[in-house]
Every structure is written in structure tokens, then in C-alpha cells.
Structure 1
Amino acid sequence: MFKHLKAVPGDPLLALIIAHRNDPNPKKIDLGVGVYKDNSGHTPILNSVKKAEAILLEQEDSKSYIGINGAPEFAPVVQTLLLGENSKIIADKRIFSAQTPGGTGALKVAADFIGANLANPKIWVSDPTWGNHLPIFKSSGIEIAAYPYYDAQTNGLRFDDMMATLKAEVKAGDTILLHACCHNPTGIDLKIEHWHALTDLVLEKGLLPLVDAAYQGFGDGLDEDMAGLRYMAERVPSMLIANSFSKNFGIYRERCGGMSIIAETTEEASNAFSIVGMAIRANYSMPPAHGASVVYTIMQDKALHAEWEAEVATMRDRINDLRHKLVESLAKSSCTKDFSFIKDQRGMFSYSGLTLEQVLRLRNEFSIYIADTGRMNIAGITDDNLEYLAESIATVVG
């Protein structure tokens, strides 16, 4: 039955994890895997999460299903985090939210909704974008097109080219995928004035924005990171939002996220959300409960909420501080390349500007594991490996 099947290549980032794990070099560095790490190179459980889990252990009295859309008390948590305490969209009941298995699950639900309900579905994604975006949308029968984003010459944003391409080629009814903050994989974010221009374009062309909000709080702040999303949401008639709690709560393996739909009226949003429920039922039927229970417990307890916000700030500050330290160390080295752009990027990831040849040398000669594209996870840097990393990069760059 399966004799005709051929093996397919595995995920290259997962292969990096295995290669790093098997490397005997005591100086080896893993800058590939997309998880937050502390200064010891460990991905910790937040104190606020541990305390919430202790409360759940004591109080939880059932492991029954929680419903297709998740626990009803979870949706307001998602909405308030994304849109803010005083959102008119929330007050007007124009947003409905479902709990999903991580941000990936949210994107899959959004993709199934788009693929099944929009005529000739087509989505525009940034070049480059998160690697899993493409197979998710392809699996839902959506045509995929790319708009310019990353400028390899300046290590910056090609916003003029992005707008020119979209203005010339998008059609009414197309979907445009935007990263709310901490763009994965480049670390190059849209500024608020870019969100203004894109909002005008969405309105002019009749587009559906799908915003991927996987890293809220890891850029400039929990509210600051959502400024562009909130500006657009307040002005466009319809929007889909996929968000993740993996990073800002550190609950990667618990698979907790949310998919939200915004429409012009409560009735329209409710009707669309009922279809979302059908997509969920046909996909994974019910979301897992534990991660959402942790998030809800923290957000409803003033002390835990304050502790969590402080922990998010600590993670954010560490990442931004590492960016500055790496730039300073590279500037002090013999490196001939200017890496100052790294400190202006946001989130865990950086498109380093390293070529494939340089990346392979780092891997083979120095046991430093970076994605082939040059994307590195800044959070994998520690005080102990910073100088070794800078010296190694200087060596391969020349």
C-alpha cells in the first residue's frame, strides 16, 4: 500500500536541534530553535505559571471537554490582551474568539475558514515569512503570493516596494498576512506609520487582514506591540487575528493560542464565528485545557497578573540588551561588517545578514548553529558564549 511513497526532508530547524544535541564541542551554541532561553541557556517555567498551576492542582475538579471554542471565560482574556481594556470593538461585541492549540492551531483554523468561505482565496505573505505559514495555507487550498519585505542590501524594510507591489497586484477579497510585532524570521517590524498606510490600502482595495500575533510583549511592551494591530482593527470592517501564548507565558508545550474574528456588526461576527466552530470541529474537535486555564488564572489574579507582566518585561529586556551587547562585541572585534542593524530589530529573531557559506562555516568550524537563511535566535546568547560568538562571526565574515 505504501511502497510508492518517498521520504520527504524533515524540518531543517528541527534537524539543527538534533545536530546541536549530538555535537561534542563544549563551546557549541544553539541559535536555531525558536524558544526563549535565560542566561544559563535554559527555557524556564515562569514563576507566575508555577503559582497558577499550583492553584489549578488544588481547585481543578474535572477533565471533561471544555467545548469547541474553549472555555467561555478565556475569550475575554484574548480580546483584552489584543485590543486593550477600553476597546470599542469589544464593547460593541464585534469580536469573537476561540481557544486553539497554539498560534499554529489558530492559523490553521483561520486558513480553513478562508479557504472554505472566500471566493478564489488568495493570501499575500511577506518575503520572507515564518516557514510554517506556507504549508498551513497551502493545505487549506489557498493561493499564496509574496510581497517584498526584507532588504538584504540594507538589512532593513522594503516598505516602498511592498506597497507598490500590493497596490498593483492585490484584488478585492484577497487576504493579507501581517506580523503584529517581532517579525519572524527577520526581526524587522512595521512602524506605526506603515500600519497607517496599510490600513488605507486595506480599505481602498477591500482586503481581509490576517494578523499573526505570536510574540506580544517581546518587542517594546504588551500594549506597545499591539499599536499597529489596534489602529487597523479600529478602522477596517473585518479582520482575523491568530495569537499565541507560547512565548509570553512560556507554555510552549501546552499549546495555547487564540483565533479571533472581527466583523462590522455583532450579527455578522457571530455568523462567521459559527462557521469557525465547524472548522474546529472537523479539525481537532476540542482544544486542550491546561494552558488556557493557566493563562486565565494568571490574568484574573491581580498579584499573579502583575508578576507575569514583570516576567515578560524581564524576558523582553534581556533580549533587547543582548542585541546591544552583540553589536558592541562585534564592533570591538576584527569584523569588517557593520552589524548595528541588529539592535534595531525586535523579538527573539534576527536576520543576521550572514551568507549561507558563512553560516555553514560557523556550524562546521565553531559548532554555532544558525538557520541556513542567517536567522538567529538572539535569546540563545548568554554572557558565557557572547564573546566566542562574536569572535567566530568576525572570523567567518573577515
Structure 2
Amino acid sequence: MLTDLKAQSPDKILMLIEEFKADTRQGKIDLGVGVYKDPQGVTPVMRAVKAAEQRIWETQTTKAYTGLAGEADYRNALARMVLGDLPADRLASVASVGGTGAIRQALELARLANPGVRVFVSNPTWPNHLSIMAFMGLPYTEYRYFDAETRGVDFEGMKADIAQAGRGDIVLLHGCCHNPTGANLTLDQWSEVVAILEKSGAVPLIDLAYQGFGDGLDADAEATRLVARSLPEVLIAASCSKNFGIYRERTGILIALADSTKGRDLAQGSMAFLNRQNFSFPPDHGARIVSTILTDDALRADWAAELEEVRNTMLGLRDQLAAELRELSGSDRFDFIRHHRGMFSRLGATPEQVQRLKTDAAIYMVGDSRLNIAGLNRDTVPVLARAIIDAGI
């Protein structure tokens, strides 16, 4: 049987990681993998996370299963962080295996509700979105999003394309810090998106993987909160990997907002059912870290302060890189880097230019020219800026 399996196409980002590891050149720079790194190149364990783990270790008396939906304290605390005031009469939620698991469960839920569902997804988007949908056999349509000239959002194209979604279709939206481009909608533009979805009856699925990495914890949730209070049905997939730095704990949540208590209860039961079919009970350690932090005033304040340090570090690197490139190029054509938000920016370079960066300067980024700003430090920014100019970008 096993010899009848077909070889699967390798993940390009994972391939890039292995290629970087095998490169023996001194001074190589990894801007491909999507994890935050401090100026020393380490992905640190946050202070509040360490303190929460210590508390859990000292007080936890059992490793018995949690409920199918995960612990209520975790789900309520994280949903409140995302939405602010909780609309309890509308809200269903389940703990998931990371944000990726929440996306998968959301798409499964949509297919349960509408076997003919279509998914509208931004061009470009996180490649795993497309991979998951292709594996599930879900039909999807790309909507215009990134303007290669301005390195901003092609909003008119986006509006025209998502207006083609119909009732019961899914429109997948990035809540903040768009991956891979770093280009975000304004709040006024989000209001226009809401109006289009309200007219069509399509359901938004918001991927909120980077809350706190852009303009701040609450500011990054403003768009999601606007959608949640404006539309009758909304799906939200949120991740704790980045903002709590607990990547390997695979901690996420799927939130469903319904237009009635009946819809809420049906969604809650269906999401618990999907958990049972896919992995049974969700993992608890990361979820317990998050709930411990969010329900303790001192831990939450320390976590929020460290998250702000992370955010401001990335903003400082953006400003530095844009300034270096302005000086070297004698133009403002790279100022979009300063205006993008989150870990990523898309340079708009060709695959050949990206290859030149790798070959000539040992600088690794994804082939579509997505670079991870958090992979830089103050010393490597000038190296990258010079290499970008030398590559003819």
C-alpha cells in the first residue's frame, strides 16, 4: 500500500529553511521563516509565559482530558481579547490546534453548512490557505488584493471581485498584518467590504494570526470587531503563536458568530463534533498559558508590555530599512516598507532577483519576495539594503 503513495510537493518555505541551514557562509540572513526573532536572532520565551508555566507546574493536579471545545476560561478570555465585549447570545467557540487548525475547522464547518460552498481568497495569500483548500477539494476563487506598482492594496479590484461571492460562500480576509504583503485595508475600506458582504450574504472568515504585531492589540482587532458587530454571521480563526510566542504549543481558537441563539447552538455542537473527528480533545498546555496570563492583571500587563516591545522593534526596523533604501536609491520607491504592518513585506522583486540575493549575498526570502522584517536587526538592515540595490530591485 505505502509504495502506491504519490510523492507530495514539498512546502517551499520549509525547503527554504533547510537550504538556509545547509549554507555554510558567514553572515547569512534568514528572512523566510515566519517567526519573530530578537536582535540576537533568538525567538524568546516571553516573561509572562515563563511565569504562567511556573504557576501551572506548581498548581496543576491532573492531565485529564479537557472538554471537546477546550476549557471555557481560555475560550472566553481569548474571545474577549479578539472581540472586546462578548456577544454571548451569538458566540460559539472551540479551542483548535493552532490558527491553522482553526482555519481548517472553519472550512469544514462551512462545508457542513453548505456542501457547495466557494471560498474567495486574496491574491496573494498565505500559501497554506490554498494548500488546505486544494487538499479538501474546496473550489476557491482569488480576488485582487496587492497592487504591484504601489505595493499597497488594489482596493477597487478587491471590491469588484468579492462582490461576485454569493449567499453561503466564504470570503477569507486577513484581520491585520496581511501575509505575505504587509499591506492592510483602512478602517473606512473595511466598512465598504462590510457593505458588500451584507448585500451578497457571503460569510467572512477572518484569519487573525498577528493581533498586536501591527498597530497595537486593540487597534489590530478594530476591523474584526467592526465586521463582528455589523454582519449576522462571522467566522474568526485566531492564533496565539505570534503574540504569545508559543509557536510550538499550537494554540488557537475558532469563533463563530450567529444571528440567533439557535444558530449559535448549532455552530457550537458542529464545531465540537469536528474537533472530535479530527483530533478529539484539543491540546491544553498552550491554552492554559494564555488563560493564565489573560485572567491575571499583573501577568497580562507584563505580557502586553513585552508585546509592545516586539511591535515597536519591528516598526523601528521598518523605518531603518526604508531610510537606508531611500538614501541608497535616491528615491522614495521603498517607502511602502515603512507603511506596511506586521512581520512581512512584499518587495515586488522578481524570482530572479530573489535568487540573486540568495546567491550573491546569502540572504534568504520566499520566492515571491516576501521578507520577514522580524528576521532583521540593526546591523543586518544596511546589509540587506545594499543587497537589494545591487540586485536591481
Q: Would you say same fold, with TM above 0.5?
A: yes
Candidates 213, 216, 228, aligned match of 1:221: 216
- Aligned residue identity for 1:220: D
Cα distance in structure 2, aligned partners of 1:69 and 1:161: 38
Task: Provide the TM-score with structure 2 as the length reference.
Answer: 0.97
| Partner of residue 35, structure 1 | 35
Worse overlay, 44-53 or 70-79: 70-79
Query: SS of the counterpart of 1:8?
Result: coil
Candidates 96, 111, 118, aligned match of 2:92: 96
Cα distance in structure 2, aligned partners of 1:297 and 1:2: 44
Equivalent residue runs for 1:321-332 within 5 Å: 321-332=316-327
| Partner of residue 302, structure 1 | 297
Query: SS of the counterpart of 2:207?
Result: strand
| Partner of residue 118, structure 2 | 122
Cα distance in structure 1, aligned partners of 2:152 and 2:74: 37
Query: Are 1:336 and 1:397, in contact at CA under 8 Å, matched by a contact in 2?
Result: no
1:91 to partner: Cα distance: 4.2
Query: Are 2:102 and 2:254, in contact at CA under 8 Å, matched by a contact in 1?
Result: yes
| Partner of residue 64, structure 2 | 64
Query: SS of the counterpart of 1:3?
Result: helix
Cα RMSD of the aligned pairs, angstroms, is: 1.3
Cα distance in structure 2, aligned partners of 1:317 and 1:130: 24
| Partner of residue 138, structure 2 | 142
Gaps of 5+ in 1: none
Cα distance in structure 2, aligned partners of 1:91 and 1:228: 16
Query: SS of the counterpart of 2:7?
Result: coil
Cα distance in structure 1, aligned partners of 2:310 and 2:96: 24
Equivalent residue runs for 1:192-341 within 5 Å: 192-334=187-329, 338-341=333-336
**Cα deviations by residue, 1:274-302 (Å, 9 ceiling, x for unpaired):** 01111110001111110001001111111
Task: Provide the TM-score with structure 1 as the length reference.
Answer: 0.96
Query: Are 1:31 and 1:381, in contact at CA under 8 Å, matched by a contact in 2?
Result: yes
Cα distance in structure 2, aligned partners of 1:194 and 1:175: 19
Q: Sequence identity of aligned pairs in percent?
A: 41
**Cα deviations by residue, 1:18-49 (Å, 9 ceiling, x for unpaired):** 11111111110000000001111110000110
1:337 to partner: Cα distance: 7.5
Cα distance in structure 2, aligned partners of 1:142 and 1:335: 47
| Partner of residue 53, structure 1 | 53
Q: Rate the CA distance shift 1:334–1:233 in 2: closer, same or farther, 3 A.
A: closer
Q: Rate the CA distance shift 1:367–1:237 in 2: closer, same or farther, 3 A.
A: same
| Partner of residue 11, structure 1 | 11
- Aligned residue identity for 1:5: L
Provide the aligned length of Structure 1 versus Structure 2. Answer: 393
Query: Are 2:52 and 2:293, in contact at CA under 8 Å, matched by a contact in 1?
Result: yes
| Partner of residue 373, structure 2 | 378
- Aligned residue identity for 2:242: K
Q: Rate the CA distance shift 1:397–1:337 in 2: closer, same or farther, 3 A.
A: farther
| Partner of residue 187, structure 1 | 182
